[in-house]
């Protein structure tokens, strides 16, 4: 790397705060549509003005000069912003909207509403800023801040005040007229990188996502990308899939527009003809409904939260966009791909290379050039469950939970089919139990990590979970055998993917032998699913009403997680 390239590209440059406010009003600095509305309290407004009057630092501002035509706000602090269409490159305000809004409002307010946030004055007697609540001319020692932009009117107003107050007025005027802030202007920077920079410099850690940039770049009076995406989410919410990340759906839209899944591909969306973008959104909505139907019926994921790796949904949507009505053989191939990638954690790190590989594999499959969706995954092995920890919210644990649910588990205590939909939809540890209870294993001297592996987890109802508690397997299994008979209990255990050898090891209290035997059973079942086997039918029960209410809400979440 050369010395020149190692120098900082984005140097802070001091600029007058009054000049920046004028540039905003003149439309030379624009506020893109993704900026938040003004949310500061009156106290925060007064604090900022007081900091300037005392010459305290108020932080730097971040601008981005770009030839991308982002939709921008037409007002700031209730003031109209001039519209400029004569510039090829525009400076967009990324960080500092609340501060510049305050300066614009304080200095340029045009009296109308007496309760306005910008009806501000400085009391030269008490040396403090205040909000007024009327439009009357204040006493001479209270100077409306809008006079600071008119030196003649300002000094004419204070010239008859006591000498001490005139000195304070001079200091106030000079502080505002000469106050500088550091401005960092990003040049030749993609909006993906801009988003990363913004997130790191923003004191609240608020992410600026690709979705917001694309929204601003495609916004018109008749079209809002967020509304379009949220329209798809609202439809899917009725299928308990409303909690889908906007960024994920934007990836699916980008693929439908013949671009791809990666963030670099998403950056091409603003250049699309409007008709192609809206068509891609419509196709994505239709395909998303078919994708969710597949996931709920063919895989057994009742909600978006049950998906092991949410990004996988973008690929499922693309599959059903290209192949709306798969035949039986194609359905089996799609199931095979899902299980292979989910169980091996392929989507744990979905980078640009994998995104490209996925798109190519889906295209080949949908066109008939390939009989399967082939991507590079590690082989299935017993290590997938013997070495991984049980953590309810991890992708590996969610994939394992789907594996258990697909076998049609029966409750150990009652023999009834477990409502796997409810178990998978709720982050409820009472639906799962360590076959060798953790507390018992730890009393036997085993470390927590050895006790908490996935191979030791079975799906149980909350009632059975409480009955098992921390007893040794030999004890609680004997109780159940005495009540229901050994043959029946063995049959229930088979549905829980606990084989006869694993059962025998459990009765002996041999945890290592149990792990080995059960891992082989899990591997065998995983291989059947990857081979295209259908899952067991789920009980015909509805979700708990409260769970249904929560899952049909459309949660606002956006994340940038790829390359």
Instruction: Show the CA angle centred on residue 328, arms to residues 324 and 333, nearest 5°.
Output: 80
Lateral strand order in the sheet of 180-186: 12-16, 180-186, 61-66, 90-95, 29-30
Counting as low any pLDDT under 70, the low residues of the chain are 1-9, 35-36, 85-86, 195-196, 198-208, 425-430, 538-563
State the residue for tokens 């107003």: 157
Determine the pLDDT at residue 262: 93
Contacts 24+ apart (CB under 8 A), 223-228: 223/274, 223/278, 228/278, 228/281
Cα separation of 388 and 454, whole Å? 6
Cα separation of 315 and 261, whole Å? 9
Q: Pull the structure tokens for residue 283.
A: 């196709």
| Helix axis angle, 151-158 to 163-178, nearest 10° | 160
Determine the pLDDT at residue 349: 87
Q: How many CB atoms lie within 10 A of CB 493?
A: 22
Report domain extents, the chain: 3-201, 210-367, 383-532
Determine the pLDDT at residue 464: 84
Cβ within 8 Å of residue 36, ≥6 positions away: 97, 98
Instruction: Show the CA angle centred on residue 348, arms to residues 347 and 351, nearest 5°.
Output: 70
Phi and psi torsions of 347, nearest 5°: -90, 10
Cα separation of 267 and 512, whole Å? 52
Q: By C-alpha distance, which of 199, 145, 194 is closest to 172?
A: 145
Q: By C-alpha distance, which of 235, 290, 284, 289 is closest to 256?
A: 284
Look at residue 444 and give its three-state secondary structure.
coil
Helices (H), 26-141: 42-53, 97-108
Label the pairing between strands 142-144 and 29-30. unpaired
- What are residue 210's DSSP bridge partners? none
Determine the pLDDT at residue 222: 86
Task: State the number of CA atoms in the 13 A half-sphere of 216 facing the CB.
Answer: 23
State the residue for tokens 């007229």: 177
Q: Pull the structure tokens for residue 527.
A: 């291989």
Q: Pull the structure tokens for residue 415.
A: 């023999």
- What are residue 312's DSSP bridge partners? none
Determine the pLDDT at residue 7: 43
Give the tens place of pLDDT for each residue, 298-338. 999 988 888 999 999 999 999 999 999 999 999 999 999 99
Indicate the length of the chain as a whole number.
Answer: 563
Q: By C-alpha distance, which of 246, 220, 206, 211 is closest to 97?
A: 206
Q: By C-alpha distance, which of 427, 408, 434 is closest to 419?
A: 408
State the residue for tokens 């960080």: 95
Determine the pLDDT at residue 431: 79
Determine the pLDDT at residue 557: 42
Q: Are 320 and 357 in contact (CB under 8 A)?
A: no
Handedness of CA 326, 332, 333, 334 (dihedral sign): positive
Give the tens place of pLDDT for each residue, 524-539. 999 999 998 889 876 5
Q: Are 505 and 520 in contact (CB under 8 A)?
A: no
Cα separation of 316 and 319, whole Å? 5
């Amino acid at each position: 790397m050369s010395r020149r390239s190692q120098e900082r590209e984005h140097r802070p440059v001091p600029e007058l705060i009054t000049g920046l406010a004028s540039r905003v009003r003149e439309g030379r600095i624009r506020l893109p549509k993704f900026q938040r509305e003004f949310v500061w309290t009156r106290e925060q407004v007064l604090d900022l003005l007081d900091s300037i009057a005392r010459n305290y630092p108020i932080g730097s501002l971040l601008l981005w000069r770009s030839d991308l035509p982002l939709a921008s706000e037409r007002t700031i602090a209730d003031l109209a912003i001039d519209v400029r269409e004569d510039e090829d490159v525009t400076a967009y305000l990324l960080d500092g909207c609340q501060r510049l809004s305050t300066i614009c409002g304080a200095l340029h307010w045009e009296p109308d509403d007496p309760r306005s946030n910008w009806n501000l004055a400085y009391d030269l007697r008490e040396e403090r800023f205040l909000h007024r609540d009327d439009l009357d001319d204040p006493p001479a020692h209270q100077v409306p801040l809008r006079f600071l932009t008119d030196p003649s009117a300002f000094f004419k107003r204070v010239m008859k005040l006591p000498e001490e107050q005139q000195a304070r007025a001079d200091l106030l005027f000079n502080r505002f007229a000469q106050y500088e802030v550091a401005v960092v202007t990003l040049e030749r920077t993609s909006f993906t990188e801009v988003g990363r920079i913004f997130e790191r410099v923003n004191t609240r850690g608020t992410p600026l996502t690709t979705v917001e940039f694309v929204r601003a770049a495609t916004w018109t009076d008749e079209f809002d990308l967020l509304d379009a995406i949220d329209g798809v989410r609202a439809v899917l919410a009725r299928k308990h899939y409303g909690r889908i990340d906007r960024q994920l759906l934007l990836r699916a839209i980008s693929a439908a527009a013949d671009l791809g899944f990666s963030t670099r591909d998403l950056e091409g969306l603003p250049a699309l003809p409007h008709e192609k973008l809206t068509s891609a959104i419509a196709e994505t909505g239709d395909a998303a409904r078919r994708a969710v139907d597949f996931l709920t019926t063919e895989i057994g994921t009742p909600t978006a939260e049950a998906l092991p790796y949410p990004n996988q949904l973008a690929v499922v949507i693309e599959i059903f966009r290209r192949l709306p009505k798969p035949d039986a053989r194609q359905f089996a191939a799609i199931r095979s791909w899902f299980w292979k990638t989910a169980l091996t954690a392929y989507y744990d790190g979905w980078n640009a290379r994998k995104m490209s590989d996925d798109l190519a594999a889906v295209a080949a499959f949908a066109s008939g050039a390939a009989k399967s969706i082939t991507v590079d995954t590690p082989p299935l092995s017993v290590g997938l469950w013997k070495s991984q920890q049980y953590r309810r919210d991890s992708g590996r644990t969610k994939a394992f939970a789907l594996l258990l649910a697909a076998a049609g588990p029966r409750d150990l205590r009652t023999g009834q089919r477990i409502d796997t939909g409810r178990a998978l939809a709720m982050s409820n540890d009472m639906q799962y139990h360590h076959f060798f209870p953790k507390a018992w294993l730890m009393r036997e001297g085993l470390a927590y990590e050895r006790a908490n592996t996935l191979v030791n987890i079975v799906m149980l109802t909350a009632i059975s979970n409480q009955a098992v508690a921390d007893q040794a397997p030999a004890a609680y299994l004997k109780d159940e055998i005495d009540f229901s008979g050994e043959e029946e209990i063995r049959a229930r255990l088979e549905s829980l993917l606990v084989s006869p050898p694993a059962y025998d090891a459990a009765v002996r209290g041999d945890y290592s032998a149990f792990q080995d035997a059960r891992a082989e059973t899990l591997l065998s079942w995983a291989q059947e699913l990857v081979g295209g086997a259908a899952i067991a039918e789920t009980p015909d029960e509805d979700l708990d009403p409260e769970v249904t209410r929560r899952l049909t809400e459309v949660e606002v979440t956006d994340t940038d997680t790829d390359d």
